[in-house]
Each structure stands twice: as C-alpha cells, then as structure tokens.
Amino acid sequence: MRVPLSWLREYVDLPATETGRDVQAKLISAGLEVERVEQLGADLKGPLVVGQVLTIEELEGFKKPIRFCTVDVGTANGTGEPQEIVCGARNFAVGDKVVVVLPGAVLPGDFAIAARKTYGRTSHGMICSGDELGMGDDGSGGIIVLPPEMEPGTDAIELLQLVDEVLDIAVTPDRGYALSMRGVAREAAIAYGLPLRDPALLDVPAPNAFGHPVRVADPIGCDRFTARTVTGLDPDAQSPIWLRRRLQKAGMRPVSLAVDVTNYVMLELGQPLHAYDRNRVEGTIGVRRAEQGEKLTTLDGVKRTLDAGDLVITDDRGPIGLAGVMGGAHTEIDDTEGTTTEVVVEAAHFDPISIARTARRHKLSSEASKRFERGADPAATSAAAQRTVDLLVLLAGGTADAGVTEVIAPSAPHTITIPADHPDKVAGVPYGRETVVRRLQQVGCDVYGQDELIVTVPSWRPDLTDPNDLAEEVIRLEGYENLPSTLPKPPAGLGLTDRQRLHRRVGRALAGAGYVEAPNYPFIGEHVFDQFGLAADDPKRKVVKLVNPLSDEEPALRTTLLPGLLGALRRNDGRGSHDLALFETGLVFHPQDELRVAGRLPVDRRPTDEEIASLTAALPLQPRHAAVVLAGAREQAGWWGKGRPADWADAIEAARILARESGTELLVRSGQYGPWHPGRCAELAVVVDGAEQVVGYAGELHPGVLKTLGLPARTCAMELDLDLLERASSGHPKGPKISTFPVATQDVALVVDKSVPHADVEAALHEGAGELLESIRLFDEYESEQLGADKKSLAYALRFRAADRTLTVDEASAARDAAVALATERTGAVLRGA
Amino acid sequence: MKPEEIERMRDEALAAFAAAGDLDALQEAKVAHTGGTSPLALANREIGALPPQAKAAAGKLVGQARGAVNKALAARQGELEAERDARVLVEEAVDVTLPYDRVPAGARHPLTTMMERVADVFVSMGYEIAEGPEVEAEWFNFDALNFTPDHPARQMQDTFFVQGPEGTHGDESGVVLRTHTSPVQARALLDREPPVYVVCPGRVYRTDELDATHTPVFHQIELLAVDEGLTMADLKGTLDHMVQSLFGSDMKTRLRPNYFPFTEPSAEMDMLCYVCKGESVGNPDRPCRTCSSEGWIELGGCGMVNPRVLVACGVDPEKYSGFAFGFGIERMLMFRHSVEDMRDMVEGDVRFTRPFGMEI
C-alpha cells in the first residue's frame, strides 16, 4: 500500500513539521511495515509552468517528426514573449495547455534544463511528459495536456502536486484494513494521539425497493451486496488532476473517470468496487457459485473456465464477473468509445477463503482479491457505494438514482472475553485495566466489564479473533520498544546428545585431516545413476521426486551425496584449485516401499500416536550420510621433498577416521560398487545388533565414470551412512590398563600369495599371538622377482608386554611363533628366513 | 729428580694443552703429556727407585705437577667442547620462514559452524537442540503452526511439494520440503512434556532461484520456550542475551509488530548495528555499509507461541505460554562476516571456506 503523505493529512491533522520519515517511524512502531519513504520531486527545481501552445511548425528532413513551437508562458520567462521550444511529441495541438520547463530548472534524475541547439533551432526549455516529471504512468503515452481552464504561467509544481512523500507499506496478511487510507489514517491517528476524520462516516440513504434488482443465492460467499445507480454521466468527463495524481502516487494508472473513481474509493476505504455499464447488464444482478465448466472472459481479456467453487456475479444471461476478483469484459465500462452514461455500482463483501481459492485457482491476484482475501470491512459497503456515487455526481455531472439496493445476511458482531490482565500476562508488564480498555477502544473495540472484559471487535478487524490478538493490540500500542528485558530460567539441560556430538566431531576430524566442507543442494537428475553405472535394480535409483523442481534436469532428491560433492570438486577444479579434499555430511532421501499421502490431521487437539505414525509412514527415510572426495595432490611437493597424489588409501582412511570418531569397529574388505574402480574399491561394513551390514564404500573412482563426469583422473571418494555407523558404535571407550613393564619387540616377515589380504594375515597374527600382544603394525609390504610373481612379503612389528612381569625372550618368541603358526594355517603364510 | 725438570715437564704439558686448537689436538696432547709414556708418568715411575728419604719430596713434587696438568687438561677439554657445541648449533641453524603447507588445512563450512555457534549460546543456558526431517508432512510445516489451508501466509512461502503415490496430483501428497525450521517446534512439543526449551537449527527450502541474495536451500535456527508464565519480556531478554553473546555486551534488540500465524503477538526483531552502534543514522559523514546507515539490522521473526499451536500439540494454553523466534543463518553470516554474495556460500569453493577454519 502506497500512502501519499498529503493524502493522509486529509484524515489526520498531523503536525506540519512531521516528515515522511517521522511518520514512518511512528507507524513502524505501531506495526505497519513502512519499507521506505519515497521522496517525490525532492530533486525537482522550477521554473515549471503552464504554457499555451501558440504556433507549431513541422520541421522536415529529420529521422523522426519534430515540431518547433512557440508557447505562451505568461510572465514566467521574465519577458512575457512566446517561448521557443523544439518538441518531438505529437499529442497536442495549437491552443492546448501544456507543462513547460524553462531553462534553469532541474528535472528528476538531476536533469538540468538549459537553452540548447537541436534540430537546427534553439530550444528554450521543454514541453514535458508525465514520465519526465516523475509522475508515473498516466496512460497518455505523450506529453501532458492540461484542462483548458489553466492560466499560462501558473506554477505547475504546485498544480500537479509534484512534491510529496509516499510511504510504501508492506501490509501483513492479517491487516487487511491497512490496505486503505482509512486504515493507515486510523493507525496514524492513534500513534499521534489525534482524532481521525473517518471517511466512511457518510450519510447513506436507507435501502429501498427501487434499486437495481440483486439476488444473492449464496449468502455465505457474499454476506453484503450494495447496488447503486448513477445516470446521466458525461461520457467526455475526465478525471481531475487531483484524482489522477492521487491514483498515480498510490501506484495505480488513471484509466477513465468511472474506473478511476472506483479505484479511488477502494484506496480510500479499502472496499473494492465494481462499476457496470447499466445498459450492458440484463436484468437482475445475481451472486452464486459457478457451474463447473462455465465460461467467462474477464477484463484482462482471458477466457476462463470456471470451477464450481468460484463465486460469480451474474445477470440474466450468465456470469458477468468473477466475484471479488475481476469483472467480466462484456459489462465493462466503455473507456475507449466513451459511450457509458449510466452505471451500476457494486459494493459487496465476499468470503475471504472463497476469494483466495478463486484467485489462486485462476492465478489472478487483483487489487480487489488482495483486499477480500485479507478481510475487507463488511460494514463499509454502503459508505463506499455512497462515496462512489457522490464522486460520479460531482465529477461526471451524473444524477444519483433514488434506488438503493442492499442485501445483507444477518450476522452478529464478534466478541471475545478476556481477563482484564491478559495483555499484562502476555507482555510481562503491568499495564492495568484502564490502559487495556483505552487501547482496545482506540482500535475500535467496544469494551464492557471489569475483571473480565467483553470485547466487541470492529467490523474492519476480522483478524481479531483470539485473546492474544487483543493482547497484541494493547502491547503494540503501548510500544514493543517499552517491553522490559528479562531472562527465563530453563531447567538444567543435558547439553548435546551423543548423536549431535558425533556430527560435530565428524566435521572437526575431517577438517583436521585437511578436508574442506562443501554442503551441496540435494537436487539431482536420475541420469547420474546411469553415469555412476548403478545396476537397474539398485535401491539408490528409487528417488523422492518433486512436483515443482527448480530445474527439470534435477527433479529428484539425492540418495547419495556424491553427485553434489563431485560437482563441487569439478567447480573448484575448473576455477584452478586442483589439489582438493572435500567433505559433506547431510541427509539423503529414500522413498518408503509404499508411498502414502500424509493426511491433514486436526489442529483442535493433540493428534493420537497412530495419527502421528501415519504421517511418519508417509515421509521418506532420511538417513544422514558422510562423504569425501579427493583429487590432485594429498601432500604437496616442497622443500621437504616430493608430494604425494591423493589415492584410494586416503579415501578409505577417511572412513576409518569416521569410525574412530564414532567408536565403531570398521570392517574394510575388497568390494565392487557403482562408480568405483573395481580393483580399488573397499566395501565398508559394521556390526549392528549382531549382524554385519554394509555401511558404505571407499576407494578410487572408475576411470570411465571420471571421464563421463569430466572429473580429474584418479579422483577418489568415500561415502557411508553415518546413522548406521553410529548405531554400530560400542559406546564409551573403556580406559585400558597400562603396564609399566618393559616391552618386547619381535618383527616377522611373512610371504603370502598376492591375493591374500593383509587384514586376514593381521587378524590371524593377532589371534595367534594371544593376550601378551600389545600391538601389531604392518611396516612393510613388497613384491619382488625372488619372491615370485604371485607372492608378496608382509613385514609386521609385534610388541609384547605383560601386565605383571618383565617378559623373557623365550616368552616373547613363543608368542610370536604361535602368531606365525596361526597365520600359516589360515593364510598359507611362510616365515621369511625360516 | 730435579724440581726444574718436573716444572719443565709440567709447563710443556700446559703449553701443549693451551696450544691444542680442537678436541683432536687436545687428545694428542693428552696422550703425550699424561699418557703412560709421558715424561711425568715416567718421572712418577722413577720415584719408586729413589731412596726412602727422597721419596716423599719427589712424590709431592711430581704429584703437584700431575695435578696441575690434569686440571689444565680438564679445563681445556671443557673450553673446546663448549666451542664445538656452539659451532654445531650455529651450523644446525635453519630458515624458520620456510612454509610447511604439506597437507593444506581443512575447514568446516561457516554455515555449519555459525549454526553451532548460535545453538551453543542457548545450550549453555539449558536449552536442548531438537532436530526434524527436511522432507516434512504439511501438517507439521503448516497446519499445526496455524497456517490454515487457505491462509495467504501459506501461499507466500514458496513451497516445494513432493510427489505422492500414483493417482495423486500436484500438492496432494501432503509432503513438502520444509519451508522453515518451525515444524521442529511442533515435533518438540509432541515429543516432550513442558517445560520445553529447545533450539532447532537446520536446512530449509523455498522455490527461489539462486542469486546474490537468495538461495532455494538455506539455513535457519529456531528457538522455542514453553513454560508456565513466560512473557514477551522473557522473549526480549532472551534475544538481547543472544546478540550480546554473539556481538558484544553493549548490544540490544528492537521488536517491531509483525504477523506470523504461529505466534501472537508477533514481532520482527532487529539488532543494533554492531559496527556503527547506530551512530551512522542521520550522519552522512560516517555512513555504515553494514546497516546501510539504518542503525539496526533486521534479524528475523519472533513472538509468543500462538495458543492454537499449543492446542494442536496437546499443550494446555491455560497453563502454559511460550515464545519462539527464528532467523536465517545465511543473512547473519553475510552481515557478521561481510559476505556479499550468497552464491559464495553454496558453491563449495575452497577459497571461500578455508579462512573460516574450525569455529566461527
């Protein structure tokens, strides 16, 4: 809602010194979101005057038609001589009154006017368009032609009300009343403690039987309908400057007198109106629900197919308007031919929900629907119709028909009962009953009672329905800025949960290992599954899809973090960062086996556990995953020596880091899956509730996949299900008993077949060594010709220690031999040098 | 055995030690002057052959000389070792300005750490962190929060809808990408008995195209307190505490009336500009880029929990009241850390993220 300050002053005697910024501050603290104050004409400087065109000489030989004019500007130019002006516009004739800007003036946009040579003549100023004066669109598409009664030389800045301030208010959905000058003026009046001149307080004739016939078939959809008729309109009558200017400043385009007047009254009172050309309406005006499939062409020229839920205005032939949203083209006021001399004015009140649905259904949001959706004042229809009639009579020479039609569905005013100290309790401030009552009365409530207040809310505040709504009125008018600042005392909390701690730890551990976090959008296209080489029946291919994705290329939600993370890797690589280690933790989304609709549960009570379970069953599974990707160098080359490229082992180590942080034993074994290199992929598993479960994969990505995705060679990746990892956690680590007896170290080198995994050998050594083994570590692995093509050597350092004594060499050797013996038995390992 | 002889031997030894320039030379001099075949050792041996009456004097003479020689040797040994040690330390000096970016540092994303930072303010006050799903039932995202099906506010949240089972169309699935973290409020109230004090950080979604100031996937943090006798003054105090904790002890907040379906009364919350502290207002000589010389920075929405929300979540509004607030993490990151383009927060460029390190 755009509110010109000059217009606002018509209803409230604001102190003359108050600027737009001052009023803005007051209204903001009263709860109107005044986003900005537009300074109209702030940089405008005269002379800007009325001129009368005396002569026009058409200049030939230029690309576009150019006119050399002489214009009478009275004595504004100091000489009284005709002003010579070159002009490119053509919508004026000799004798017309126009707006002339003279040398020395400055137009909006810091446009200084001076005499200048153009098209072979000297132009001493300009004939102005509305655009050049910062007036907004006046629909004329050319220079301004003023009414003939204007005197040449008159100051046009004043005449056209070019200097003003406009408050731009973003009206919240609950405050429909603020979509009117009347509503904003009421707030301003309260904020300044001044009386309001309510423009809706008009003398309105009583309804009678002579008005245009109206039949409301749906009193719930339409609880008020006022119809008034004005005849004898001068079809040539134009909207006066003040009316046009107010509409422009409020952001509307002047169209024709009848339309301008209805718009003006809507802005003033918040009541949308419609004017029908009476000669185009056949018989009774009706209000009913549309028949399914019924057709109506609206004012915007769109032919619409109506829904049975749409409320329509009809005449004897059928729909003539989409009630409360937009009128029909057929009964439109004729503003081009200028043949309309009789109008029927409609001022009605429609059900907000019905209007909201219709506007949404037809994707048609209008000034009218915006107001009805947010709740217009049902008691304002008669006054709005009267105001419209008055203006048409005044400005178009019309005659008000004596007939007054009013259809009113009976309704009781809304009352709310609250304890008088309710606002005090909500705010934490002892306002006292007197203040509460006074504030509620200021917003228009009738208040009765002592300790219990019975509050009747005003017709223009349908948003006031609950006790807390009334509390808000009191608190905001007393000033949110005056609320004290106190701190509640929550019960002692338990801090973060184990799961929350783990999520933080995972991030810190990976960042500590050199990974940079890169959270990505969860939107993916299903083609990535083909690029990843997933099997046709891979569960990751089952995705949750969006009805309205941002991009048709990515209509699904991720089931793996890798597409997003690899995208980030590619983006970084493309921007010149080639040595990359990225990580992400976040949710992935798997549809339930059976899709269900999440029902609309009641809101007037707690849903039952079954009802909540039914919602849960309709939501996808959303486990948290963690993933890393690596490319380029993991260690840089430098003065210390050579660098080292990131490889499969780094990716697997990332999984081990996560397992360590979550206190979970991770099983790493050779695997093959999707985008990974078949020979360089580890399957990661954990034991959950006694059963082994695959938790993820890690290793180098498949060269083919990398080529398809345009990723650097040897890019590596790891992804695992963090929730599953957490479920496998063994919980709090137990403090080990530390022996202070000396350590006995024994190294063994074992030759095994190349296909034997280290993990198997180590496990056998571990088990065979018995309880004296403190630790075991692989310190070398190599292959050689002497060993044979299909053999490899694994060298382990075994450390033995007893809790209660110094081990003898024999004891340590015996333990080592037992370890080797089991490794030999299990894996065919042969002790080297034996 | 002449005393002059012995003194000469002693003096020769002392001279040889003094002349030794390094430990090797000293070792040679040591062998020559204190070894088994050195003059003094030989002289010592001769003492045994002297007549008994001469033994004592000769023994004293040789013993004193040998004592002086050994003392001088030890002293010189110490000197030369100290010299050598000093030299080695000089030789071992390195260029400490050499870089060591062998494994470049990693970092956590500032959106993550910002959320943790804000949450921790409240965790330290006794609040708990509550979480909820990102794909959410409409009932939790809207209905339970007093967004009626036709409420204009519901249409204003540009919502991603999830496809339902076969045969359903458009938004009929009743499942959406949550448009705010507020559904976690409803979940927290259903999960716990009052008093409830929770913060809910998380990812939320709206159908905005990505540009410098919008992103369809963004982050919010929400706070909910439900207890007996909570007031708007408590809300104000909690907000003041938060901004003081995050921006300094002289900070404060300002509430302006606003509208949200799930709170009543509702307010928009601003915080004092932490850069200019409001001093740029009406002071064109000292403009403030952080607050555009407004003096206040818009933070988010808040209010007293609408009793209708309490009812939908099974909490008795006659007994309990509550307050809630929520705000966008991206925005806070922008003005707290001078991030000018929101795209930098979503593209995962390591050059953007690295400087933020582990905590924010």
Q: Residue A455: which pLDDT band, with cuts at 50, 70 and 90?
A: very high
Q: Is B118 near chain A, with CB under 8 Å?
A: no
Q: Residue A60: which pLDDT band, with cuts at 50, 70 and 90?
A: confident
Q: How far apart are CA A282 and CA A95, in angstroms?
A: 43
Residue A46: the pLDDT is 79
The average confidence (pLDDT) of chain A is 92
Best mutation target among A361, A595, A644, A722 (most B Cβ atoms within 10 Å) is: A595
> Which has the closest alpha carbon to A711: A585, A563, A590, A825?
A563
User: Contact, B276 vs B290, CB < 8 A?
Assistant: yes
Query: What's the length of chain B?
Result: 360
User: Per residue in A342-397, pLDDT tens?
Assistant: 999 999 999 999 999 999 899 998 999 999 998 899 999 999 999 999 999 999 99
Residue A137: the pLDDT is 61
Chain B residues whose beta carbon lies within 8 Å of the beta carbon of residue A425: 229, 231, 321
Q: Residue A826: which pLDDT band, with cuts at 50, 70 and 90?
A: very high
Q: Considering Cα of B256, then B257, then B258, then B261, what sign does the dihedral take? A: positive
Q: Is B160 near chain A, with CB under 8 Å?
A: yes
User: Percent of chain A beyond pLDDT 70?
Assistant: 99
Q: How far apart are CA A446 and CA A464, in angstroms?
A: 13
B354: DSSP letter: G
Structure tokens at A732: 């709090």
Dump the DSSP string for A489-555. Answer: -PPPP--S-HHHHHHHHHHHHHHHTT-EE-----EE-THHHHHTT--TT-GGG---BBSS-S-TT--
Minimal CA separation from A155 to chain B, in Å = 32
Minimal CA separation from B55 to chain A, in Å = 56
Binary contact (A516, B106; C-beta < 8 A): yes
User: Contact, A174 vs A12, CB < 8 A?
Assistant: no
Contacts of A641 (CB under 8 A, 6+ apart): none
Q: How far apart are CA A484 and CA B250, in angstroms?
A: 16
Binary contact (B102, A517; C-beta < 8 A): no
> Tokens 């080359």 map to which residue?
A637
Query: Of A174, A548, A572, which is closest to B350 when you measure between CB atoms?
Result: A572
Chain-centroid distance of CA A169 in Å reads 18
Name residue B329's beta-bridge partners: none
User: Contact, A119 vs A59, CB < 8 A?
Assistant: yes
Residue A410: the pLDDT is 87
B53: DSSP letter: H
Report the number of secondary-structure helices (H) and strands (E) in chain B: 13, 9
Structure tokens at B196: 């409830």
Q: Residue A468: which pLDDT band, with cuts at 50, 70 and 90?
A: very high
Answer with the residue of higher pLDDT: A75 or A260: A260
User: Per residue in A94-130, pLDDT tens?
Assistant: 888 999 898 888 988 888 888 888 888 888 888 988 8
> Which has the closest alpha carbon to A489: B182, B119, B231, B117?
B231
Best mutation target among A606, A642, A657, A722 (most B Cβ atoms within 10 Å) is: A606
For residue B243, count other CB atoms closer than 10 A to its CB. 21
Radius of gyration (C-alpha) of chain B in whole angstroms: 42
Mean pLDDT value of segment A779-796: 93
Mean pLDDT value of segment A204-214: 93
Low-confidence ranges of chain B (pLDDT < 50): none
Binary contact (A516, B127; C-beta < 8 A): no
> Which has the closest alpha carbon to B198: B188, B190, B206, B208?
B188
Q: Residue A140: which pLDDT band, with cuts at 50, 70 and 90?
A: low
Binary contact (A604, B155; C-beta < 8 A): no
User: Per residue in A709-728, pLDDT tens?
Assistant: 999 999 999 999 999 999 99
Range of lowest pLDDT (A94-103, A211-220, A412-421, A679-688): A94-103
Q: Residue window 21-60, chain B: list those with CB within 8 Å of chain A.
A: none
Q: How far apart are CA B186 and CA B205, in angstroms?
A: 18
User: Contact, B129 vs B198, CB < 8 A?
Assistant: yes
| CA distances from residue A783 to A86, A762, A764, A788, A824 in whole angstroms, order as listed | 95, 18, 21, 8, 19
CA atoms within 13 A on the CB side of A277: 17
pLDDT exceeds 90 at position A470: yes
User: Per residue in A599-621, pLDDT tens?
Assistant: 999 999 999 999 999 999 999 99
Chain A residues whose beta carbon lies within 8 Å of the beta carbon of residue B298: none
pLDDT exceeds 60 at position A433: yes
> Tokens 């060499």 map to which residue?
A809
Answer with the residue of higher pLDDT: A142 or A16: A16
Binary contact (B238, A488; C-beta < 8 A): yes
User: Contact, A593 vs B133, CB < 8 A?
Assistant: no
Contacts of B87 (CB under 8 A, 6+ apart): none
Chain A residues whose beta carbon lies within 8 Å of the beta carbon of residue B191: none
Residue B46: the pLDDT is 85
Binary contact (B135, A589; C-beta < 8 A): yes
Residue A334: the pLDDT is 65
Minimal CA separation from B34 to chain A, in Å = 43
Residue A562: the pLDDT is 98
A160: burial class by Cβ within 10 Å (0-12, 13-18, 19+)?
buried
Residue A336: the pLDDT is 60
pTM of the predicted protein model? 0.87
Helix axes B329-337, B110-123, angle to 10 degrees: 100
Binary contact (A595, B106; C-beta < 8 A): no
Residue B229: the pLDDT is 96
Residue B157: the pLDDT is 66
Cα angle B329, B335, B341; round to 5 = 80
Query: Of B105, B165, B312, which is closest to A595 when you measure between CB atoms?
Result: B165
User: Per residue in A740-759, pLDDT tens?
Assistant: 999 999 999 999 999 999 99
Contacts of B164 (CB under 8 A, 6+ apart): A595, A596, A597, B172, B173, B174, B175
Query: Of A548, A604, A615, which is closest to B160 when you measure between CB atoms?
Result: A548
B193: DSSP letter: P
Q: Residue A834: which pLDDT band, with cuts at 50, 70 and 90?
A: low
Closest alpha carbon within chain B to A357: B150
The size of the A-B interface in CB pairs under 8 A is 308
**Residue ranges of the alpha helices (H) in A41-120?**
none
Strands A106-107 vs A111-112: parallel, antiparallel or unpaired: antiparallel
User: Per residue in A292-314, pLDDT tens?
Assistant: 999 999 988 899 999 999 999 99
Q: Residue A238: which pLDDT band, with cuts at 50, 70 and 90?
A: confident
Contacts of A365 (CB under 8 A, 6+ apart): A359
Residue A139: the pLDDT is 60
Minimal CA separation from A726 to chain B, in Å = 17
ipTM of the complex: 0.89
Closest alpha carbon within chain B to A616: B137
